[in-house]
């Protein structure tokens, strides 16, 4: 449930409520919005309901949260959250583009791609160092060497970097290099991994699972936020359907729906959703139009030679062209780029 504080309630009054919750073994999650201060109470419902909150100084009302996810719901927090990654902000007015190769392959590839990404206006750089591959015989990523090249690319360009963490044993290592931790589609319901990144300071990009509902994605995000890490960005990356013409089916309706249900930012990954480079531009524009907070796209200096996901990667030139198109569209949709 939520304890809604009166306008102008003091820090002391807020602390008294939090102390009461702790006394009955409940968790207290404080949300201080511009207009409202709300304390989310999570724990034994019966024990919490015995506390006479309404009689306490500074308390306005007590409201149950009806959704199964609590902290990520818009019931808990009406204002949209803004997640900052270095100088880049997700969830504000700006439409943010994350660009980079599927996998880090070499210093030359990474630095050239990073410079092109920055020059055309990307707000962040991507690149996989640990790759979750369907086949154990496919390229698995460069591991820590790849993380070092991402850090180098950041140094060269100033762009913050996001990279996937596939295993709880790697969380500290990946967090020591990356500015944002990516949880891939295949790990969206790896609850131990979610709890682990929930204890990190670095923001987390959580990709929708291949066969997961929107509610399941929000429940997964709840694991991370509940652990104390409020910096979560969701990512719609296509879901499995009967359609085989595309790698997955991009569920663009997920974006406005998530905006109704949750305060978390959400971006779209048209690369993994479609598997086809020729569909990236139209669906990126679609993502902008439906109100996504950004996109993540795969780009490569020579997609035909890419070690991973070449067919869905834009060349650096195609990417720059798309950025120009998005920049001209954004103002018409009330967005900045």
Task: Give residues in contact with ligand PEP (CB under 6 A).
Answer: 102, 128, 132, 164, 184-186, 207, 237, 272
Least Å distance, CB 245 to Mn ion, is 19
Binder of residue 327, out of ligand PEP, Mn ion, none (CB less than 5 to 8 A by kind): none
Least Å distance, CB 48 to ligand PEP, is 37
Closest CA to 95 of 334, 332, 293: 293
Binder of residue 154, out of Mn ion, ligand PEP, none (CB less than 5 to 8 A by kind): none
The smaller minimum CB distance to ligand PEP, of residues 1 and 287, is found at 287
CB 247 within 8 A of CB 274: yes
CB 123 within 8 A of CB 161: no
The smaller minimum CB distance to Mn ion, of residues 297 and 323, is found at 297
Binder of residue 236, out of ligand PEP, Mn ion, none (CB less than 5 to 8 A by kind): none
CB 25 within 8 A of CB 43: yes
Helices and strands of the chain, counted as H and E runs: 11, 14
Question: Which residue's beta carbon is nearest to the bound Mn ion?
Answer: 102
Least Å distance, CB 200 to ligand PEP, is 19
The smaller minimum CB distance to ligand PEP, of residues 67 and 276, is found at 276
The end-to-end CA distance of the chain, in Å, is 38
Least Å distance, CB 221 to ligand PEP, is 15
The smaller minimum CB distance to Mn ion, of residues 28 and 103, is found at 103
Binding site for Mn ion (CB under 5 A): 102, 309
The smaller minimum CB distance to ligand PEP, of residues 20 and 207, is found at 207
Binder of residue 237, out of ligand PEP, Mn ion, none (CB less than 5 to 8 A by kind): ligand PEP
Binder of residue 198, out of Mn ion, ligand PEP, none (CB less than 5 to 8 A by kind): none
The smaller minimum CB distance to ligand PEP, of residues 43 and 143, is found at 143
CB 152 within 8 A of CB 192: no
Least Å distance, CB 61 to ligand PEP, is 41
Least Å distance, CB 181 to ligand PEP, is 12
Distance CA 61, CA 43 (A): 18
The smaller minimum CB distance to ligand PEP, of residues 58 and 101, is found at 101
The smaller minimum CB distance to ligand PEP, of residues 9 and 284, is found at 284
Distance CA 92, CA 14 (A): 28
Binder of residue 101, out of ligand PEP, Mn ion, none (CB less than 5 to 8 A by kind): none
The contacts of residue 5 (CB under 8 Å, 6+ apart) are 13, 14, 17, 36, 37, 38, 39, 58, 59, 60
Closest CA to 72 of 256, 266, 267, 294: 266
CB 238 within 8 A of CB 225: no
Binder of residue 207, out of Mn ion, ligand PEP, none (CB less than 5 to 8 A by kind): ligand PEP
Binder of residue 164, out of ligand PEP, Mn ion, none (CB less than 5 to 8 A by kind): ligand PEP
Least Å distance, CB 269 to Mn ion, is 9
Report the DSSP pairing between strands 232-236 and 204-207: parallel
Distance CA 277, CA 318 (A): 9
CB 307 within 8 A of CB 316: no
Least Å distance, CB 237 to ligand PEP, is 4
CB 278 within 8 A of CB 292: no
DSSP-assigned letter for residue 81: P
């Amino acid at each position: 449930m939520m304890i809604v504080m009166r306008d102008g309630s003091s820090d002391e009054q807020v602390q008294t409520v939090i102390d009461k919750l702790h006394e009955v073994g409940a968790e207290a999650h404080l949300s201080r919005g511009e207009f409202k201060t709300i304390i989310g109470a999570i724990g034994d419902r019966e024990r919490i309901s015995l506390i006479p909150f309404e009689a306490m100084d500074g308390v306005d009302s007590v409201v149950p949260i009806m959704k199964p996810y609590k902290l990520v719901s818009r019931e808990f927090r009406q204002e949209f959250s803004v997640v900052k990654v270095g100088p880049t902000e997700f969830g504000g007015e700006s439409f943010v583009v994350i660009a980079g190769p599927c996998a880090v392959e070499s210093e030359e590839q990474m630095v050239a791609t990073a410079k092109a990404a920055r020059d055309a206006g990307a707000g962040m750089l991507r690149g996989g160092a640990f790759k979750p591959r369907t086949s154990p015989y496919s390229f698995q990523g460069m591991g820590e060497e790849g993380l070092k090249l991402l850090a180098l690319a950041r140094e060269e360009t100033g762009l913050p970097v996001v990279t996937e963490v596939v295993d709880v044993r790697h969380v500290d290592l990946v967090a020591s290099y990356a500015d944002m931790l990516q949880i891939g589609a295949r790990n969206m319901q790896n609850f131990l991994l979610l709890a682990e990144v929930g204890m990190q300071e670095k923001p987390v990009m959580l990709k929708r699972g291949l066969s997961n509902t929107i509610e399941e994605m929000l429940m997964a995000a709840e694991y991370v936020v509940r652990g104390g890490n409020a910096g979560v960005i969701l990512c719609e990356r296509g879901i499995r359907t009967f359609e085989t013409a595309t790698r997955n089916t991009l569920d663009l309706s997920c974006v406005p729906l998530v905006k109704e249900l949750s305060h978390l930012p959400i971006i779209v990954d048209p690369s993994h959703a479609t598997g086809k480079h020729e569909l990236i531009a139209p669906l990126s524009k679609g993502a902008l139009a439906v109100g996504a907070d950004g996109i993540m796209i795969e780009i490569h200096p020579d997609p035909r030679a890419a070690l991973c996901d070449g067919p869905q990667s834009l060349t650096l030139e195609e990417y720059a062209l798309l950025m120009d198109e998005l920049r001209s569209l954004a103002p018409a949709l009330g967005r900045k780029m």
